[in-house]
Structure 1
Amino acid sequence: MRAEQRFHSLDSFRGLMAISVMLYHLRVSGSFTEWLLFRHAEVFVSFFFVLSGFVLTHAYGSSVKFNFRKFFISRTFRLLPLHLFMLGVFILLECGRYWAAQKGMDFNNAPFSGKFAPSEILPNALLLQSWTHLTNPLSFNYPSWSISIEYYTYMIFALIVCIAFGIRTWIWATVMLLALALMYAGNTFFTIESLRGLAYFFTGCLAYAVYLRLPQPSRAQTWLLSTLEVAAVTVALIFVINDFAGKQLWASPLFGVIVVIFAFDRGAVSRLLAGRGFGFLGKLSYSIYLTHAAVLFCVVSAFMVAKKIVGVDIAPVIDGTRYLDLGNVLLNNLIALLVAGSVVLVSMFTYRYVEMTGQSLGRALSSPPSHSGPVLRPDTEA
């Protein structure tokens, strides 16, 4: 029964986290983007790693006959099509900046320089940009830094599943502890972000091992799960909005516990998250995460052009950060909503025409020809 289970509340969390990260990068003066929750939402990227480890372990962790080729194709065509599409978008945007510079427009940084240098294109295309200090993890489409880490972490996970059937849990724990040890041992080759991503992902794998060992709660115990869910959300909110030493380290076990609690999908908060609206955001989460930087770039650029036309500073730089500011709290909140809505609309397009197309191609490549009917879409995504 558990092998066929889909975690609806966790899917919804994925969408909410993607929206929160988008609002973290959007700065509109005096609007809801400045709430403490969104000003600290960068920590939610850690949740993605933990959740991915949990879900992939659910899908593949108990496999006796694991097909690495099929896994490789599935994960590659899950992540790479949209990543390459957005890399192409950013290259086109940089070409636009180059054209504008030739027409006499001034920019803080010259086109195709710094994190947009041509030398960064190939590492991005191969999703290598976040692993070592040889490249800029935030080059071109900056949210893709985490996709770089996640993709190769998937492959490490798959190798473990291939070669260590009886001791997988122990190896996951070893990899997690090794990553943590390298983080604090003065490692100079791998980036801290890559080691952190490894530790978080395999925390998710271990969280699933814990989940499997817990009894399924009865209907009479729904009140207990509801209490645990409310407590988990409360603790998570307090954790997120506060800064303290070791926060990134504590995020790993905390998010692991939260994922286990909500995996049962039985409490009151889970029922709320099972709503179609939250599920819709969960479905679009990958597109929201990877497209929002380009949308924000276009919006900010439009404000900067309008600023020169109207002679009013509607895109001020405050403490080194570019804000949008129409001089009115109501208008600023409206702008923030419109920008967020625009990201969702763009994500609907990329989900349908880029993500789904890529996944369909991946299924066609990984499955032998069949005359018995259409290939069914896998029910578990990560």
Structure 2
Amino acid sequence: MASVQRFTTLDSFRGFFALLVVFYHLHVVGAFIEMAFFRRADILLNFFFVLSGFVLAHSYGLKPRFSFRRFVISRVFRLYPLHLTMLLVFILFELVRWAAYKKGFTLNNVPFTGLFDPSEILPNLLLLQAWTTLTETMSFNYPSWSISIEFYIYMLFGGLCLLSLRSRFLLFACMAVIAFTMIFTGNEPLVWRAMLGLSCFFAGNITYLVYLLIRDRFVPVRWLMTVLEVVTLSIGYWMVMNDFENRSPIASVTFCGLVLLFAFEAGWVSTFLKTGVFRLLGKLSYSIYMTHAALLFCLSTVFIVAQKLTGRDMAPMIDGQRFMDTGSHLGNNVFVVVVTLVAIGLAALAHTYIELKGVEWGKRAAGPARSKAATSHVIAGTLEPQIDRAA
């Protein structure tokens, strides 16, 4: 069996960025997460799409014997168990709010209206909510909009993997170029989130091909790679903090460079990102991303109820956004730290009892893989060993 290559540093990035998404959605008066960097971290979602494309190309893109059936089963059982669980949790929240509403206790708005209208349940079940202008993209468990985009891009990717190795990567490149061209020229035939996903994901596929082409021809020098890692992160920080024309697609291309560089794991920054805490965040990244909105919903509800009972302004509306306020600057910052730890703990439970169980069920549903000798593939005229990795 070929050894399994794991991109540990990239996993750590995914976990760290998932935590930044939590901070982006959490609003606490005067806390450190209200700094400009955290308020502008939404651009980091482009990174998730690029990294997904890179990882899926690594796991499946170069398999000469690609099974579309096994791929679909793998993706469904990888994403759906936690997605369905969180959708049910939010429906339960609405039922509780409805019971409170019937007793004259209103929280924010009327239950089962707007983003929580019952008509939005079916699109969420089918992961279609982010693909059309007829549905509410941010309905129910709002972070799942990106899973909605990724799921059907996965299906498109799987269909292309039925072609020959050269044909599939040629089409990956065509998809990325066409999507980026449409975004830059403003001629987007799909909703912008779908165009964002398509451009970033297939650019991630090509980034992996570039990685393969230079991997065995490039001898990393530690100090130089460290400098490049710092420079790349600095560019990424600058893009988060500044507004300019075509910021999103340019950031996407930059993230391709970041993924390519850190895939080599050759600098001191990479070494730091392979330490225990970051590895844990990487392992829990999907669960952190999918469960944090429910946690924040519960906390916000507690603050709203406390405000009604005490008369203190503990859940103020600021610029149309609901904030939480313990009443002191120190208390608010400590509260953010506690919420972060709770979010990680909740994600650990979801990862163990839902996410991993789903992966296990998927393996059972797919059945045993066909027994075959180690395969090889041809890239640019050279023979490379086939490497598999569960995404």
TM-score range, shorter chain: over 0.9
Report matched runs for 1:156-235 at 5 Å.
156-183=156-183, 184-187=185-188, 190-216=190-216, 217-218=218-219, 221-235=221-235
Q: What CA RMSD, in Å, does the superposition of the two structures yield over aligned residues?
A: 1.9
Q: Greater CA deviation, 243-252 or 97-106?
A: 243-252
Report matched runs for 1:255-294 at 5 Å.
255-294=255-294
Task: Tell me if structure 2 keeps the 8 A contact 1:3–1:58.
Answer: no
Match of 2:68 in 1: 68
Match of 2:148 in 1: 148
Q: Greater CA deviation, 224-233 or 293-302?
A: 224-233
Residues 166 and 77 (structure 1), Cα distance of their counterparts in 2 relative to 1, 3 Å cut: same
- Partner secondary structure for residue 363 of structure 1: helix
- Partner secondary structure for residue 166 of structure 2: coil
Deviation at 1:357, TM superposition (A): 0.8
For 1:263 and 1:242, locate their aligned partners in 2 and report how far apart those are by CA, in whole Å: 26
Letter in 1 for 2:307: K
For 1:181 and 1:239, locate their aligned partners in 2 and report how far apart those are by CA, in whole Å: 20
Deviation at 1:237, TM superposition (A): 1.1
Match of 2:77 in 1: 77
Deviation at 1:46, TM superposition (A): 0.8
Letter in 2 for 1:121: I
- Partner secondary structure for residue 266 of structure 1: coil
For 2:55 and 2:188, locate their aligned partners in 1 and report how far apart those are by CA, in whole Å: 29
In the alignment, structure 2 segments of 5+ residues that lack a partner are: 371-386
- Partner secondary structure for residue 243 of structure 1: coil
Task: Tell me if structure 2 keeps the 8 A contact 1:74–1:359.
Answer: yes
Match of 1:334 in 2: 334
Match of 2:383 in 1: none
For 1:131 and 1:181, locate their aligned partners in 2 and report how far apart those are by CA, in whole Å: 20
Task: Tell me if structure 2 keeps the 8 A contact 1:226–1:268.
Answer: yes
For 1:348 and 1:41, locate their aligned partners in 2 and report how far apart those are by CA, in whole Å: 23
For 2:107 and 2:229, locate their aligned partners in 1 and report how far apart those are by CA, in whole Å: 48
Deviation at 1:185, TM superposition (A): 4.8
Task: Tell me if structure 1 keeps the 8 A contact 2:188–2:195.
Answer: no
For 1:27 and 1:369, locate their aligned partners in 2 and report how far apart those are by CA, in whole Å: 47
Report matched runs for 1:51-130 at 5 Å.
51-130=51-130
Residues 337 and 103 (structure 1), Cα distance of their counterparts in 2 relative to 1, 3 Å cut: same
Letter in 2 for 1:257: G
- Partner secondary structure for residue 33 of structure 2: helix
For 1:357 and 1:185, locate their aligned partners in 2 and report how far apart those are by CA, in whole Å: 43
Partner deviation per Cα, 1:177-210 (whole Å, 9 max, x = no partner): 232344445446x211011101000010011111
Match of 1:50 in 2: 50
Letter in 2 for 1:380: R
Match of 2:26 in 1: 26
Match of 2:346 in 1: 346
Deviation at 1:2, TM superposition (A): 9.4
For 2:180 and 2:339, locate their aligned partners in 1 and report how far apart those are by CA, in whole Å: 38
Match of 1:296 in 2: 296
Q: How high is the TM-score relative to the length of structure 1?
A: 0.94
Deviation at 1:8, TM superposition (A): 0.6
Match of 1:355 in 2: 355
Q: How high is the TM-score relative to the length of structure 2?
A: 0.91
Deviation at 1:363, TM superposition (A): 0.6
Residues 187 and 263 (structure 1), Cα distance of their counterparts in 2 relative to 1, 3 Å cut: closer
Match of 1:5 in 2: 5
How many residues align? The count is 373
Residues 2 and 329 (structure 1), Cα distance of their counterparts in 2 relative to 1, 3 Å cut: farther
Task: Tell me if structure 2 keeps the 8 A contact 1:149–1:197.
Answer: yes
Task: Tell me if structure 2 keeps the 8 A contact 1:3–1:59.
Answer: no
Q: Greater CA deviation, 361-370 or 327-336?
A: 361-370
Partner deviation per Cα, 1:103-145 (whole Å, 9 max, x = no partner): 1112442111111111110110111111111211101000000
For 1:66 and 1:215, locate their aligned partners in 2 and report how far apart those are by CA, in whole Å: 24
Residues 238 and 369 (structure 1), Cα distance of their counterparts in 2 relative to 1, 3 Å cut: closer
Deviation at 1:338, TM superposition (A): 1.1
Q: Greater CA deviation, 210-219 or 131-140?
A: 210-219
For 2:119 and 2:206, locate their aligned partners in 1 and report how far apart those are by CA, in whole Å: 38
For 1:175 and 1:156, locate their aligned partners in 2 and report how far apart those are by CA, in whole Å: 10
Q: Greater CA deviation, 170-179 or 125-134?
A: 170-179
Task: Tell me if structure 1 keeps the 8 A contact 2:120–2:139.
Answer: yes
- Partner secondary structure for residue 231 of structure 2: helix
Letter in 1 for 2:278: F
For 2:324 and 2:50, locate their aligned partners in 1 and report how far apart those are by CA, in whole Å: 33
Deviation at 1:326, TM superposition (A): 2.1
Partner deviation per Cα, 1:218-250 (whole Å, 9 max, x = no partner): 46x111111111111111111112222211111
Identity %: 46
Task: Tell me if structure 2 keeps the 8 A contact 1:6–1:379.
Answer: no
For 2:235 and 2:155, locate their aligned partners in 1 and report how far apart those are by CA, in whole Å: 33
Letter in 2 for 1:296: L
Match of 1:374 in 2: none
- Partner secondary structure for residue 161 of structure 2: helix
For 1:307 and 1:34, locate their aligned partners in 2 and report how far apart those are by CA, in whole Å: 21
Letter in 2 for 1:191: V
- Partner secondary structure for residue 162 of structure 1: coil
Partner deviation per Cα, 1:321-344 (whole Å, 9 max, x = no partner): 111122311101011111111111
Deviation at 1:310, TM superposition (A): 1.5
Task: Tell me if structure 2 keeps the 8 A contact 1:81–1:355.
Answer: yes
